[in-house]
Structure 1
Amino acid sequence: MGVLKRAKRSGWWVAGVKDPETIAEHSFRVGLIASVLAMMEGADPARAALLGLWHDTQETRVGDIPHIGRRYLDAAKNETVTADQLSAAHPAVRAGGQRIVEEYENGDSPEVVCARDADRLECLVQAVEYREQGYANVQEWIDSSLAGLRTASAKALADAALNMSSVEWQRTYLR
């Protein structure tokens, strides 16, 4: 997973962000947000966090392909990449990792919904933070992330993120 600490989220370059977050930074916050959403939604926070932490691990093999790039590339399914990544792992790790990715990609449990909402909400929050730093071309990420949210809790947190500065957010929600 050291690759994820070094690999930048490439979609932000399209918006002009010169030094975007890494995939690991994104995944870390997705895991935390997934746990918070699960608590708010009455789901299992540990399971939601686990799903969120594993959701982009395939990018150690295929990189972070921005949405526009997906028009032109036929990337392997995440389940296939995970199977290859874990082929030499301990059998319990191999089976567990494959189950986690399979559930995230194909499931619809409350934990999966929270993890997917966390992925979108993290992108929205990151876009808002970049906008605060002067990057004006992030509205598309905000709009598409907002449109994909399913839970009432994620929608409420998105509304707060869109209507407060990051400093206000910290003062309000980190008491």
Structure 2
Amino acid sequence: MVINKNDLGPFFDAVIGLKYVRRAGWGAKVGIKDSESVADHSYAMCAVGMLLSDTLGIDTCKVLKMIVLHDLAESVVGDYMPGEVSPSQKQTEESEAMKKILACLPSRISSDYSKIWQEYVQGKTKEAIFVHRVDKLEMALQAARYEKEGYSKELLAQFFSSAHKAVDSENDILTDILKSLR
């Protein structure tokens, strides 16, 4: 297969673009001016997800692809906070963005990535459920870091609460890690 590197531009632009999209909740809800980017969040999720999927015997390769893709559309649409737009509007915007981002890739790869992203969005498979949980666990890990840096424990409590709702669904290492943070 021959791939023209110039044809991959939209994918590379989206990946690099995540470095410039700030995670909205930290600034709006806690007042953190130089908060993590979506790329920072995705990288941390990759490291956490890799270790924990290996530990739990979950398909790590699929998990890592899913994590890399899970927020890629935010490079186009931005990072919406819950309630900022309707879930259907968010889904429509992100789906359109992903179609554009993946359209430049060879069809087999584009199809594979699209299926993995859709699997994440639907949240029904073992890997997708796991990635959603890792997403919230990473958020709590970041909140704990911000708390150590002196940000308001009271303002950060909402992030821990959200994480507990998503992660405490199973009695496993993710739940143990989350419980150890506070």
| Count of residues in Structure 1 that have an aligned counterpart in Structure 2 | 162
Secondary structure at the aligned position of 1:138 is classed as helix
The one-letter code of the counterpart of 2:73 is: Q
The aligned residue for residue 162 of structure 2 is 144
- Alpha-carbon distance in 2 for matches of 1:102, 1:109: 11
The aligned residue for residue 60 of structure 2 is 45
The aligned residue for residue 33 of structure 2 is 18
Q: CA deviation at 1:112?
A: 1.5
The aligned residue for residue 125 of structure 1 is 141
Q: CA deviation at 1:77?
A: 5.2
Secondary structure at the aligned position of 2:84 is classed as helix
- Alpha-carbon distance in 2 for matches of 1:69, 1:158: 26
Deviates most, 109-118 or 3-12: 109-118
The one-letter code of the counterpart of 2:176 is: A
- Alpha-carbon distance in 1 for matches of 2:123, 2:82: 22
Q: What TM-score does the superposition give when structure 1 sets the normalisation length?
A: 0.84
Any unmatched runs of 5+ in structure 2?
A: 1-14
Q: CA deviation at 1:63?
A: 0.4
2:105 is the alignment partner of 1:89: yes
Pair 40,18 (structure 1): closer, same or farther in 2 beyond 3 Å: same
Pair 73,111 (structure 1): closer, same or farther in 2 beyond 3 Å: closer
The one-letter code of the counterpart of 1:84 is: K
1:104-145 CA distance string (max 9 Å, x none): 111422222221111000001111111111111111011111
Any unmatched runs of 5+ in structure 1?
A: 163-175
The aligned residue for residue 180 of structure 2 is 160
Q: CA deviation at 1:27?
A: 0.5
Pair 103,140 (structure 1): closer, same or farther in 2 beyond 3 Å: same
CA RMSD of aligned residues (A): 1.9
Q: What TM-score does the superposition give when structure 2 sets the normalisation length?
A: 0.81
- Is the contact between residue 147 and residue 156 of structure 2 (CA under 8 Å) also seen in structure 1? yes
What pairs with 1:65-104 in structure 2 (closer than 5 Å)? 65-70=80-85, 74-75=89-90, 76=92, 78-104=94-120
The one-letter code of the counterpart of 1:140 is: Q
Alignment partner for residue 58 of structure 1, among 52, 73, 86? 73
- Alpha-carbon distance in 2 for matches of 1:147, 1:22: 23
- Is the contact between residue 52 and residue 116 of structure 1 (CA under 8 Å) also seen in structure 2? no
Q: CA deviation at 1:48?
A: 1.2
- Is the contact between residue 66 and residue 116 of structure 2 (CA under 8 Å) also seen in structure 1? yes
The one-letter code of the counterpart of 2:74 is: E
Secondary structure at the aligned position of 1:144 is classed as helix
- Is the contact between residue 46 and residue 67 of structure 2 (CA under 8 Å) also seen in structure 1? yes
- Alpha-carbon distance in 2 for matches of 1:29, 1:53: 10
- Is the contact between residue 77 and residue 94 of structure 2 (CA under 8 Å) also seen in structure 1? no
Q: CA deviation at 1:38?
A: 1.5
